[in-house]
Structure 1
Amino acid sequence: MNKLAHALAIAIAILTPAMAHAQAPEALASTPAEPEVGTDYCERRLGQWFYCEVPVAPKPKPRAKGTAKRDDAPAKHPDLVAAEQFKKDMEEARLIAVWNPSAENIQRYYAYQQMVLEKGGTFADTWRRMVWENPDKDYTLQRPINTAGKAEWLQARNTDRDLFFRAAYDQIGIFYVYRGDCGPCRVASPIVRAFATRYGISVRAISADGGANPHFPDAQIDKGQLKAWGLTSAVTPAYMIFQKPTTTGKDGIKPVSFRVTDGKTITLRPCRNPKGCLTYMGAGVLSVDELADRLFVTLATEPGKDF
């Protein structure tokens, strides 16, 4: 009896783990699965040897200063809205008239054209009345356009130009580039000589091909300086302005100014290159006045002030 009880105890001990394994799938199946929140990797139970960081949503970029939301955008001026609509309607009328040039379509487009002419005329008339009432906005006071005023202005300007050249003759000069086989150069050479004689401006002639020049017997032969200056011998006659370097002091560049008519002063453009400054002035046959004008405008006027 004791042996039977002992055998049963051993059998129960052996069968108990097997029964537990047999019931494990059913137990697992009966146990409700833990819900997964979305597809976030960090929401899953990965055990103590796994870790991850919860992603941080990117912060919205701050709006630049001075920019407004679309809802805050200022409304267009009503005149601008009307003008844009008129432009659109006129373009449509033009396309229709071109595509189907009936009398009705052409008359419709013609009406738009008439309105444009009326608007333009009103604008021009209002503009000139405004200028008349505001002399500070009248550019013709600086450079007259009528015959009498223009003649007086040109005479005063040419006088100032002559006085400037006489005062600055030792600061500036011209390199005149020519070729012996250049037809235009034979026309330009006596003009350049007359310019030098009239204004007292030093002119140094350079022969691009070694040819002689009766108007400049002391002309130099090109030995590579033209290439260094960025010039080609094919473009002749050509002119370059040479300017001596402007003296400097403790306070920097000292502008050179010359007194001309009516107590005015003209300041020579400063040259900051210690070896002097070269400025291309043009090419082709130029008259004495054209040479003088280009030299004066380049060295003694600001852009927009003498135009």
Structure 2
Amino acid sequence: MPLKFLPPFVLASLFCAITNAADEPTRTTAAEPQAPAIAGESFYREKEKGWFWYEEPAPEQELKPKPKPTPASPTQPQEKIPPAESPAAPVGPPPGSVAWIKDVLPKLREAAIDNPTDENLQAYYFTQRLMMDKSETFSRRSMEVIRNNPLLDEDLRYPASNAASDALATAAGKQKDQLLKAVSEQAALVLFFRGDDCTLCDQAVAALSGLKHRYGFTVMTISMDGKPLPNSPFGPHKLDNGLADQLGVFMTPAIGLAMPPSSTTIISYSTISMETATSRILSAARDEGIISTEEYQSTSRIASVGLIDGKDLADSTPNPLESPEQYVERMQKAAREAFQDKYGDDE
């Protein structure tokens, strides 16, 4: 029978039954697999929403890629720090050397003084004897070396024998007398004094009188206070005109050497012996060029020969600590040249 001919209440009942059947969930058994969803099923599930049952699906959240775990770096083996080495004991000078003795001897002496046991005293004196023995060995070897090397033998300058020494002294004395007589012809002696206070004038007068009579010096006297020189053998005095202040004379008696044309040098600010006066007169005459250096050196009984000039060694001398052989060779040459200059030997 067609549905349009059914009574209305039958149609309503039938519609309700169909609706309830659609709302019941589909029963499945364990033996049957679940059927796939049919089209329109979502309509029935979302019917309560009415006309607004359809919604745009929510946008899928972008899944951020999980950061890849950083591979753990292989554990570096910890470097082993070597233990700090204890500082090595300082290496001192070798035992028995002069440097070793110089370091040890004072300590041994102090130990022996603080605690004078037999052992401490013997240790000190044995070390002291070691130094004395080294000195004795050095002295003997020095005599052998010097004896075999004439350039190191001081007998060339000052002979050790009495006869040779007297001969040199006699020759030097004659040369000295000749030079003093030559100087007396070109220079005069000057005596500064004070007439009221000249306790030591007699000693100065005696020395000047000897120089006058032996070598022929002229002696002039200058009074600093205007008073005469008591018992003067040199004739009338002259008044000081400021020369004393110019020469720095502040005590009397004072003796000077006046050399023409206008040079005066003080050789003594007090009394002086005749021997000392002659040496200072010759030194002043050498400085003023009245006599030469060679002439001045000839007045000494010590022969001034073979004198090495250190200035000549400034640029061409090896280091004696590094090259002792080359240094000795250089000094031998310098000493030989010094003797050759003295005697004029160029060979």
Corresponding residue number in structure 1 for 2:249: 231
Q: Tell me the CA shift for residue 199 of structure 1.
A: 0.8
- Give CA deviations for 1:194-223 in whole Å, capped at 9, x if unaligned: 112211223322233334241222332333
Q: Is contact 1:132-1:138 (8 Å) kept?
A: yes
For 1:174, give the aligned amino acid. Answer: L
Normalising by structure 2, report the TM-score.
0.50
1:282 aligns with 2:263: no
Single out whichever of 195-204 and 80-89 deviates more from structure 2: 80-89
Structure 2 CA distance for partners of 1:145 and 1:183, relative to 1, 3 Å:
farther
Corresponding residue number in structure 2 for 1:249: none
- Give CA deviations for 1:95-116 in whole Å, capped at 9, x if unaligned: 2223333333222222222222
Structure 2 CA distance for partners of 1:165 and 1:238, relative to 1, 3 Å:
same
1:185 aligns with 2:201: yes
Q: Is contact 2:228-2:237 (8 Å) kept?
A: no
Q: Secondary structure at the match of 2:129?
A: helix
Structure of larger gyration radius: 2
Corresponding residue number in structure 2 for 1:293: 279
For 1:187, give the aligned amino acid. Answer: Q
1:130 aligns with 2:141: no
Q: Is contact 1:190-1:215 (8 Å) kept?
A: no
Q: Could you tell me which runs of 5 or more consecutive residues in structure 1 were left unpaired when the two chains were aligned.
A: 1-77, 246-274
For 2:182, give the aligned amino acid. Answer: A
Return the alpha-carbon distance in structure 2 between the equivalents of residues 135 and 207 of structure 1. 56
Q: Could you tell me which runs of 5 or more consecutive residues in structure 2 were left unpaired when the two chains were aligned.
A: 1-92, 287-292, 303-347
Return the alpha-carbon distance in structure 1 between the equivalents of residues 125 and 164 of structure 2. 41
Return the alpha-carbon distance in structure 1 between the equivalents of residues 236 and 95 of structure 2. 67
Q: Is contact 2:224-2:239 (8 Å) kept?
A: yes
1:90 aligns with 2:105: yes
What is the aligned length? 199
Q: Secondary structure at the match of 1:190?
A: helix
Q: CA RMSD in A?
A: 3.1
Q: Greater strand share, 1 or 2?
A: 1
Task: Determine what percentage of the aligned residue pairs are the same residue.
Answer: 26
Counterpart selection for 1:240 from 256, 264, 269: 256
Q: Which residues in structure 2 correspond to 1:144-293 (within 5 Å)?
A: 144-180=159-195, 181-209=197-225, 210-213=227-230, 214-233=232-251, 236-244=252-260, 275-276=262-263, 278-293=264-279
Return the alpha-carbon distance in structure 2 between the equivalents of residues 172 and 220 of structure 1. 18
Structure 2 CA distance for partners of 1:207 and 1:108, relative to 1, 3 Å:
farther
Q: Which residues in structure 2 correspond to 1:55-94 (within 5 Å)?
A: 82-94=97-109
Q: Tell me the CA shift for residue 93 of structure 1.
A: 1.1
Normalising by structure 1, report the TM-score.
0.55
- Give CA deviations for 1:249-301 in whole Å, capped at 9, x if unaligned: xxxxxxxxxxxxxxxxxxxxxxxxxx43x333234433322221222244344
